[in-house]
Structure 1
Amino acid sequence: MEQPGAPLRWWQTRAFVIVATLITIVPLLWPQIPPLVDLPGHMGRYRVQLTPHDQAPWLADWFNFQWSLIGNLGIDLLVVPFSKLFGLELGVKLIVITIPALTAAGLLWIAREVHGRIPPTALFALPLAYSYPFQFGFVNFALSMGLALCLFALWLRMARLGQVRLRAIVFVPISCLLWLCHTFGWGVLGVLAFSAEMIRQHDIRKDAGSGHWIESWIRAGLGCVPLALPMVLMIFWRSGDHVTGQTADWFNWQAKVAWMLMALRDRWELWDVVGIGVFFLVLFRAVRDPAIEYSRNLGLSALFLLAVFVLLPRIVFGSAYADMRLAPFVIAVALIAIRPRLTMTPRHAAVLATLGLVFFVARTAGTTISYWQFDRDYDTELAALDKLPVGARVVTFVGTNCRNEWKMSRLEHLAAIALERRLAYANDQWSMPGAQLLTARYSQAGMFAHDPSEIVTPGWCPREWWKPVDFAMARFPREAFDYVWLIRTPPFKPHYATDLDRIWRSPTGASALLKVNRDRPAPQISDEELYPRWFLELRARRMQQRLKELPPPPKS
């Protein structure tokens, strides 16, 4: 730790915190729609939420939207006033811009409260404002985590100022609002607050000559009672009859290691993995370098978060990637837990801070370029909407492959922009009662009613619900849709589209908008042509087994 009373260094000033926070928003300034994988899908839901029934009554035939008290309403609530002031797209963009800013500011504030001053190594944590969960478009989660970090810093500050009673009063409503934003943020705040309170109580007991850890554990739990009220809300939410979804895939070690390595996943695999390597190099140096050390407070917080990450399954209540979301924040808290010892020279500290700043700016520049390129892709594909009438019934197919490539196209939920801009049907909406406010009710669409029916591949992919493009083109119900929007799909057999007329094509020829021509008959394709042999054989065996299980016919 630095000598008390020493002058502030450049990375410890308020001006630097403000500048660093502003730098984090740079990648999001240019794109009209933040290029986050799931965000367009959410924007489609916001459009249904905000559109009065008399303006688009057909939406009620396609979707059921019902407000309910769930721990996943952050932007769903904020978009109501923001859309009135700025319009839906700009309003969403402004809200999303605050997420990396809150994350970076929260990390620096926590470091300031715990160490007394911002350590130079804290700058290495700032690129995690654009972590993989944020890139994936888990925006309610990401917003709640940014808020949780800032609220944890406030929790620490009020304890440092001796305002523990006031803190207990203030954090009762604050914890409920954070839970309403997203349950995950509230849970992480509870873990961080408990670990910090445990250290504080132990130090108090130790100074009094009775520093037993069990007593500190109990007192820390009592100190966190003001954060517990959302547990009642959680019981009401998860015990409803409408709630569905399994909790599964425990202790998938291969996936957990992968989530750690993907904490910065964006576009260029080598660039992103090198960034992760920098993190682990800094964390390892903190163990070996005699000039730096780990804070007990944040070190315990990082260990607690790591334990939660290990214990969390991949799927919670039907929501996938539950454990993946926590991985970047385990790393971030571990990084800001590092601080210099008194033996560190000012020159050594300045070098560390400069390296951290260079790393932060380089990662931000890379993200800015990446987002600019994704925005160009959006502009190219969304030109198809100029040919689409308002209220059109559209089935959208977005091409991918079975390889799970590092760079996600960010086009996976672009279908929802047709819903957002043209009030057209989008078959990419999630339909999970209890997890989302919107569910698909367009029964005529059959298996093409909701996510992931929009994803198509060259062939059948193991352990995926995606459909081959040939199957999708042959089997989508013509009576349910008037248009087919193809977004960079793999090639398919032309005779599967004999009743479709092309009305728009992208400059590259990889995407097109097709209209169903009802004057021509739909292609008649046999199952043998569409399904793999193993599937047909399995189906035949199951049919034979069912026939054997039928009771014998009555004797005449």
Structure 2
Amino acid sequence: MFRSTPPLTPPSGWWTRPWYIAFLAIISIIPLIRPEVPPLVDLMGHMGRYRVELSAPSSPLLTEYFSFQWALMGNLGVDLLIIPMAKLFGLELGVKLIVMMVPPLTLTGFLLIAREVHGRLPATAGLVAPFAYCWPFQWGFINYVLAMALALNAFALWLYLARMGRVRLRAILFVPIGCLVWLAHGFAWGVLGLLAFSAEIVRMRDVEGRGYVEALWRGALHCLPLAPPMLLMLLWRSGDVQGETADWFNWKAKYVYLVSSLRTQWMEFDIWLVSLLILLVLFGIGSIGWRRVGVDMRRTLGVATLVLIIAYVLMPRIVIGSAYADMRLAPYVVAIGVLGLVPRTTNRVALGAIAAVALAIFGVRVWQATVQFAGISAYQEKQLAALDHVDRNARIFALVDLPCLSRWESPRLEHLGAMAIVRREAFVNGQWTMAGAQLLSIKYAPAKGYAEDPTQVMRPRRCRAPRSRSIESSIALFPRDAFDYLWLINASRDRWPINDPSLKLIWNGGERGALYRIQEDVPPFRFKPVR
């Protein structure tokens, strides 16, 4: 299918200098400098878990509200890393520094892969830079994107050692490397395995001259050093791991996830950019295009792209109870394809122009993310001002007024309530629970049915999940004796409860957001809940 590109390394230029990789990595940090807490959708929910994890055994967080049991599983990246980081910098700054590591590590992984495959960075390599802020990162799948950053750098090392003929050393090194990537997140370990297998197939064919069948089984044999985590997965899955694997071949969702690979706040630009990149990858895969202006695809990453496409098509939306499994892979499918591209032209002026356009596009993304993160963070901190009026170790029932998921822009407030755990060591509803698949569980029985995720999420009726509650019905039905406060996050004034003597308004955020203290021994005003 591929017409192999000429065995010549791409022409040199300013984009092939070592400082170019360092420059892209450094500027990728800029959007995360100003926000006190990186405004990623799920991150604050994870931070609530980290606070429980780091709490003293005598803390009410562990004695009354939550249980935290360590277990060996492929989803422990930041949960482990935050232990030393919190001791050095505190929880919030420690998390921020870890998150700030992810974009530059992702970029170095991408660009080192490109340099290994091409022998020198092609002018198109910079087009991959926006994927450092891909949708899984924006969503706050922090263990996954950290593990993917490690996996990408590990794959670059895999290619380097193969090029140097150090296959035996590679086999020794990748036993612990594979285990570490799996420990950070099992999905990333799976992607690393697919990339390594793809590269070995091509190496067997192009370097050692093996036949197709022999290349397949020898490629699999060379990937055995990555296999030990399979034993760890068997141990993990043999425990009390519940959660379904479902929603196969949801084509509409897969299309949305693919075009959302670079989803932020600017829909037209996001879709235009990822569509252009997908088109370029398709041109490369088919080895089609104009004779002098088109692009080619290096076989190593061309095969890897095809393998990832197959994995994306076959992967269900929900894996072991973890939603958005295929969505997490989508940006990396496109990114690996972009890395395999090399312009056919050798004209240095044209190549310089391509590299300059790639750099300009990333500059726009960095500027956009910087402004966006600053604005979202400022609004989040405005809502978090309610916590100044909350007693330590209190019990809070939080409701977040959110738009439909179909809306391109996200206010990123789904798990803002978890900051009450972080800053006030309070109990608040909204933590994820899944036996055997989460380290944290909720043991506060009085809040049963009003404690877990997504009891805090309130969406408009037109896009609400079946049998889910509205703000009004949640306020009417939640157990008052189980909580000390009702916290309405981002709720407009027309959603605030009135004429309810059991709720005393003690803080309001202007037109959005309110905090109520629940009055003991005062019966609530009863009305028919609105569904």
- TM-score (normalised: structure 1): 0.91
- The offset of 1:7, in angstroms, is 7.3
CA distance in 2, matches of 1:115, 1:58: 53
Distance 1:141 1:5, change over 3 A: closer
Tell me whether 80-89 or 263-272 shows the greater mean CA deviation.
263-272
Q: Which residue of 2 aligns with 1:517?
A: 519
Q: How does 1:29-48 map to 2 (within 5 A)?
A: 29-48=33-52
* Correspondences of 1:464-479 after superposition (within 5 Å): 464=466, 466-479=468-481
1:340 Cα shift? 2.8
Alpha carbons 2:9, 2:118 under 8 Å: kept: no
**Which deviations, in whole Å up to 9, do the C-alpha atoms of 1:188-221 show, x marking residues without a partner?**
0000000000110112342xxxx31100000000
Partner of 1:366: 368
From 259, 277, 283, the equivalent of 2:281 is 283
The CA deviation string for residues 466-487 of structure 1, in whole angstroms up to 9 with x for no partner, is 4201111101100100101111
AA aligned to 1:289 is: W
Select 2:53's aligned residue among 49, 58, 62. Answer: 49
**Corresponding position of 1:141:** 144
Distance in structure 1 (CA, Å) of the matches to 2:49 and 2:405: 29
Are residues 377 and 432 of structure 1, via their aligned partners in 2, closer, same or farther at CA, if it must alter by over 3 Å? same
1:327 aligns with 2:330: yes
Q: Which moved more, 1:270-279 or 1:45-54?
A: 270-279
Other-structure match for 1:530:
530
CA displacement at 1:146 relative to structure 2: 0.6
The 3 A distance-change label for structure 1 pair 458 and 346 is closer
Match of 2:96 in 1: 93
Q: C-alpha separation between the residues in 1 aligned to 2:98 and 2:500?
A: 41
Partner SS for 1:472: helix
Counterpart AA for 2:15: W
Deviation digits for residues 28-69 of structure 1 (CA, Å, limit 9, x no counterpart): 111110000000000000000001122x23533211110000
1-side partners of 2:61 and 2:256: how far apart?
43
Deviations 1:374-427 (A, max 9, x none): 111112111111111100100100001346311111111011100001001120
Number of equivalent positions = 521
Gaps of 5+ in 1: 532-556
Q: How does 1:375-454 map to 2 (within 5 A)?
A: 375-402=377-404, 404-454=406-456
- Tell me the secondary structure at the aligned position of residue 515 of structure 2: strand
**Structure-to-structure mapping, 1:146-295, within 5 angstroms:** 146-206=149-209, 211-240=210-239, 242-284=240-282, 286=284, 287-291=288-292, 292-295=295-298
For residues 5 and 520 of structure 1, what CA distance do their matches in structure 2 show? 78
How many Å separate the matches in 1 of 2:404 and 2:90?
37
Whole-angstrom distance in 1 between the partners of 2:496 and 2:300: 61
Question: CA contact under 8 A between 2:55 and 2:61: conserved in structure 1?
Answer: no
How far apart are the structure 2 equivalents of 1:416 and 1:344? 54
Q: Is the 8 A contact 1:459 1:467 kept in 2?
A: no
Alignment check: 8 A CA contact 1:36 1:410 kept: yes
Letter in 1 for 2:18: R
1:505 aligns with 2:508: yes
Q: Give 1:85-124 correspondences, 5 Å limit.
A: 85-124=88-127
Does 2:335 correspond to 1:337?
Answer: no
Aligned residue identity for 2:486: V
Q: Distance in 2 between matches of 1:461 and 1:446?
A: 25
Task: Give, in whole Å, the separation in 2 of the partners of 1:521 and 1:303.
Answer: 63
Cα shift at 1:127: 0.2
Q: Which residue does 1:84 correspond to in 2?
A: 87
Q: Are the structure 2 counterparts of residues 282 and 63 from structure 1 closer, same or farther at C-alpha, using a change threshold of 3 Å?
A: same
- Residue type of the alignment partner of 2:333: V
2-side partners of 1:65 and 1:10: how far apart? Answer: 51
Q: Percent identity?
A: 45
Distance 2:443 2:336 in 1: 43
2:305 is the alignment partner of 1:307: no
Query: What is the distance in 2 between the residues matched to 1:7 and 1:298?
Result: 19
Give SS of 1:511's match.
Answer: strand
SS in 1 for 2:342: strand
1:464 & 1:126 partners in 2: Cα distance? 39
Q: Determine whether 1:20 maps to 2:33.
A: no
Q: Secondary structure at the match of 2:428?
A: coil
Alignment partners' CA distance in 2, 1:464 and 1:95: 37
Q: Which segment drifts farther, 429-438 or 35-44?
A: 429-438
CA contact under 8 A between 2:9 and 2:119: conserved in structure 1? Answer: no
Whether contact under 8 Å (2:11, 2:346) holds in the other structure is: no
What CA distance in whole angstroms lies between the structure 2 residues aligned with 1:5 and 1:70?
42
- For 1:248 and 1:329, how far apart are their aligned partners in 2? 22
Rg larger for: 1
Contact map agreement 2:393 2:426 (CA 8 A) in 1: yes
Alignment partners' CA distance in 2, 1:496 and 1:73:
47
8 Å contact 1:427–1:450 — kept in the other structure? yes
Deviation at 1:8, TM superposition (A): 3.3
Alpha carbon RMSD of aligned pairs, Å?
1.8
Mark the CA change 1:302 to 1:3 in structure 2 (over 3 Å): closer, same or farther.
Answer: closer
Cα gap change, 1:480 to 1:359, in 2 (>3 Å) = same
CA–CA separation in structure 1 for the residues paired with 2:342 and 2:124: 7
